[in-house]
């Protein structure tokens, strides 16, 4: 008899047995096919013992999220590949459920939801093998009971078959390595111990004893925490080697020493946790110091950027004003603004390079120094504070750099008054208090005189600009007389005549 996930094949049947099985399949409405040893198909009514033996192939029904198992032999055949099949089995003839970390073996048509799988570390990462045929299972969850004390249930052939297969698989998860030739279980110790693989009869006996429950407890402790599995496995293997009685059959040593080995491994693990706790506190203190220093450096880079931007903006506004109001060379003004923009750009670039370098350093060192921190804790302790400092730098860099760039563009494109000359600047020294009564004083250009008259003209202009103007406008009249070409004597006579007329009045 052979059974796969889809079909069940029963061979060496007589005609009567083949008819009996065919009648059962007809009642259940399961498809089937009957053939002889020559693979010739037969109908049920044509079966005759003269053409026996017959073979019947039954196609099993497909159930939603459940694998149908019809026989004990089929159950044994399917167990090695259980990890690749459905997580819920309906087993004909099973009296009570067998619930493991990844599978549920249920009595036929028992309605239970699929089990919530408990993730475990692959045992092949812990046990070294040198042969091409791997003996260590890649999934230990299907061999560990969820509740070893209560899930043993009532003994039946199916449960005994599962316990035997579980014992063989779990024993192979204990050592540090497995010999490729003899399949011996080797423990590095100290001292080094090699335990021979048990026979099938020894496995059957061990599976029915209390030692099987102790083995379940030991391996459950090893694999219950995926992050600590490697440490726990090493401690348990060392304790088995240390407390063992020497070379012998694996089932005999485990039966005698597994309880004490598990207790010693637990104590050693707790002590290692205490030592790791002190190291962890030191590592967290160093991490806090590193994060504080990094954020302070990024903050300092932000301050330098703000200072550079402020200075560049002040210089830029001054250069714009100079370009609009002075006769300074345009090329010189643009060159000064270019220097200010370059300074701001170098400050921003140096800050960005520092931030980028720190990000790479955190990415390199996190899996090596701070792997013990969960991702959520590392995010809260390291990434969030540094991200806040980096965001402040980016805002200052983008806003300040953009403002300086805009001001530089304004300066480069603005056009100054190219008609300004030094003479027009000197004319601005003439006071404008009398612009209403003498509007042509600043704009009039002096006529052509002799050198003496030109000198007198300039002296009068300076006198008009620097003296105190009285209510009569005498200084203005004097300047106008000279500008109109009259001599100083004529002007004095005119002033005396005006004063005489004023006295008569």
The 3-state secondary structure of 63-122 reads: ECCEEEECCHHHHHHHHHHHHHCCCEEEECCCCCCEEECCCEEEECCCCCCCCCCCCCCC
Helix (H, G, I), strand (E, B) or coil at 276: helix
Residue 50 CA to residue 65 CA, distance in Å, equals 43
Whether the CB-CB separation of 103 and 89 falls below 8 Å is answered with yes
Q: Which residues of 323-358 are buried (b: 16+ CB within 10 A; e: fewer)?
A: beeeeeebeebeebbeebbebbbebbeebbebbeeb
pLDDT tens, residue order, the chain (505 aa): 889 989 999 999 999 999 999 999 999 899 999 998 888 888 988 888 888 899 999 999 888 788 999 999 999 999 988 888 889 999 998 988 999 999 999 999 888 888 888 999 999 999 999 888 889 999 999 999 998 777 765 678 999 999 999 999 999 999 999 998 889 999 998 889 999 999 999 999 999 999 999 999 999 999 999 989 999 999 999 999 988 666 789 999 999 999 999 999 999 998 887 776 677 778 778 888 888 888 999 999 999 999 999 999 999 999 988 888 888 888 888 899 999 999 999 999 999 999 999 888 888 888 877 777 778 888 888 889 899 999 999 999 999 999 999 999 999 888 755 444 444 444 433 444 434 444 443 434 444 433 433 433 444 333 333 333 343 445 445 545 544 544 444 445 555 555 555 454 4
Cα atoms in the 13 Å half-sphere on the side-chain side of 455: 3
Cα atoms in the 13 Å half-sphere on the side-chain side of 197: 17
What's phi and psi for 415, nearest 5 deg? -110, 125
Whether the CB-CB separation of 166 and 159 falls below 8 Å is answered with no
Whether the CB-CB separation of 175 and 185 falls below 8 Å is answered with yes
What's phi and psi for 208, nearest 5 deg? -95, 0
Give every CB contact of residue 238 below 8 A, 6+ residues apart in sequence: 187, 188, 189, 190, 265, 268
- For residue 455, CA distances in Å to 300, 450, 462, 467 come to 64, 9, 11, 18
Residue 76 CA to residue 374 CA, distance in Å, equals 41
CA dihedral 84, 87, 90, 95 (to 10 degrees): 110
Q: The dihedral of CA 375, 380, 381, 387: what is its sign?
A: positive
What's phi and psi for 354, nearest 5 deg? -65, -45
Q: What is the pLDDT of residue 48?
A: 86
- H runs (alpha helix) in 227-249: 229-243
Q: What is the pLDDT of residue 326?
A: 82
Q: The dihedral of CA 147, 148, 154, 158: what is its sign?
A: positive
Residue 254 CA to residue 140 CA, distance in Å, equals 18
For residue 327, the surrounding DSSP H or E stretch is none
Residue 499 CA to residue 505 CA, distance in Å, equals 10
Give the bridge partners for 195, in sequence order. 185, 248
Check: pTM over 0.85? Answer yes or no: no
For residue 10, the surrounding DSSP H or E stretch is strand 7-13
Q: What is the pLDDT of residue 152?
A: 64
């Amino acid at each position: 008899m052979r059974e796969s996930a889809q079909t069940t094949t029963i061979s060496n049947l007589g005609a009567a047995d083949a008819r009996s099985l065919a009648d059962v399949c007809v009642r259940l409405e399961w498809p089937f096919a009957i053939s002889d040893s020559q693979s010739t198909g037969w109908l049920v009514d044509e079966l005759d013992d003269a053409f026996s033996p017959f073979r019947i192939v039954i196609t099993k029904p497909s159930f939603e999220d459940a694998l149908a198992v019809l026989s004990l032999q089929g159950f044994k055949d399917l167990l090695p590949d259980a990890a690749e099949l459905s997580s819920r089995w309906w087993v004909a003839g099973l009296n009570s459920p067998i619930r493991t970390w990844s599978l549920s073996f249920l009595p036929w048509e028992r309605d239970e939801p699929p089990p919530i799988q408990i993730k475990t570390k692959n045992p092949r990462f812990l046990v070294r093998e040198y042969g091409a045929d791997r003996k260590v299972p890649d999934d230990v969850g299907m061999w560990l009971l969820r509740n070893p004390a209560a899930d043993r249930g009532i003994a039946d052939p199916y449960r005994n078959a599962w316990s035997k297969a579980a014992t063989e698989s779990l024993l192979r998860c204990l050592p540090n390595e497995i010999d490729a030739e003899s399949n011996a279980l080797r423990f590095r110790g100290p001292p080094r111990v090699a335990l021979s693989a048990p026979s099938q009869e020894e496995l059957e006996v061990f599976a029915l004893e209390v030692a099987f429950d102790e083995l379940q407890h030991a391996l459950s402790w090893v694999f219950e925490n995926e992050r600590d599995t490697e440490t726990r496995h090493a401690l348990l293997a060392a304790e088995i080697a240390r407390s063992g009685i020497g070379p012998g059959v694996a089932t005999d040593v485990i039966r005698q020493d597994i309880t004490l080995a598990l207790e010693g491994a637990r104590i050693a693990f707790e002590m290692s946790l205490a030592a790791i706790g002190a190291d962890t506190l030191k590592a967290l203190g160093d991490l806090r110091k590193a994060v504080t220093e990094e954020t302070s450096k990024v903050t300092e880079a932000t301050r330098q950027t703000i200072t550079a931007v402020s200075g560049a903006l002040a210089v830029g506004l001054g250069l714009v004003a100079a370009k609009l109001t002075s006769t300074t060379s345009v090329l010189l003004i643009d060159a000064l603004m270019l220097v200010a923009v370059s300074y701001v750009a170098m400050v921003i670039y140096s800050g960005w390079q520092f931030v980028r370098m720190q990000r790479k350093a955190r990415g390199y060192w996190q899996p090596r120094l701070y792997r013990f921190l969960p991702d959520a804790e590392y995010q809260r302790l390291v990434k969030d504070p540094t991200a806040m400092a980096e965001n402040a730098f980016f805002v200052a860099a983008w806003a300040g750099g953009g403002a300086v760039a805009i001001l530089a563009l304004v300066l480069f494109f603005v056009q100054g008054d190219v008609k300004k000359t030094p003479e027009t600047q000197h004319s601005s020294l003439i006071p404008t208090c009398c612009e209403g009564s003498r509007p042509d004083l600043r704009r009039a250009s002096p006529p052509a005189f002799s050198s003496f008259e030109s000198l007198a003209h300039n002296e009068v202009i300076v006198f008009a600009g620097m003296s105190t103007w009285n209510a009569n406008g005498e200084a203005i009249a004097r300047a106008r007389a000279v500008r109109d070409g009259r001599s100083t004597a004529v002007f004095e006579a005119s002033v005396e005549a005006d004063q005489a007329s004023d006295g008569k009045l």
